[in-house]
Amino acid sequence: MSQITVTKVVEGASHVVIRVDLLGDGTGELDGHVILAPSDLNPASPNNVPAFRLMQVWYGLIWFDVALSVGTIIPSPLWSVSRDSGCHADFRSFGGLLDLNVYNSPPSDDNGKLTLSTNGLLKGSIGSLVLELRKTNQASA
């Protein structure tokens, strides 16, 4: 499998920033690779309910595209990051992008995970993403 490294850069009470580094090794595409789960948060999100809003993304991709998805066994698309576009997207002005199940009754297969899939990740392809996420559904203290 292609190499993927996820690093938590900073985490606060209401937000988390992660860095995702990707390197194509010739073994193929990533499909639905989990990059953040509710259980990865501190404190962990209760009952694995949808737990994030995507507020900003910074990226640099060489010869491949990335699709971010959320939610269920068959993830719902959240945002597409294409290699031939700008290097920053900001969703803060309208409250961010999220798994819509945050405001509905989550289906029984909703796992609240943030996943990544690639298109065009060939041997030698390299890229990085930095995601600023706002936590949702945190238990009250």
What DSSP state is assigned to residue 135? Answer: E
Q: pLDDT (tens digit, 9 = 90+) per residue, 106-132?
A: 666 678 889 999 999 999 999 999 999
Examine the pLDDT at 18 and tell me if it is beyond 50: yes
pLDDT in tens, 48-105: 666 789 999 999 999 899 999 997 777 889 999 998 778 999 999 999 998 776 666 6
Q: What is the Cα–Cα distance from 80 to 96, expressed in whole angstroms?
A: 14
Domains and CATH numbers, the chain: 3-135 (2.60.120)
Q: Which token pair is 34?
A: 């989990």
Question: Positive or negative CA dihedral for 102, 108, 111, 114?
Answer: negative
Q: Measured between alpha carbons, how far is residue 35 from residues 30, 65, 74, 82, 86 in Å?
A: 11, 16, 16, 18, 22
pTM of the model: 0.89
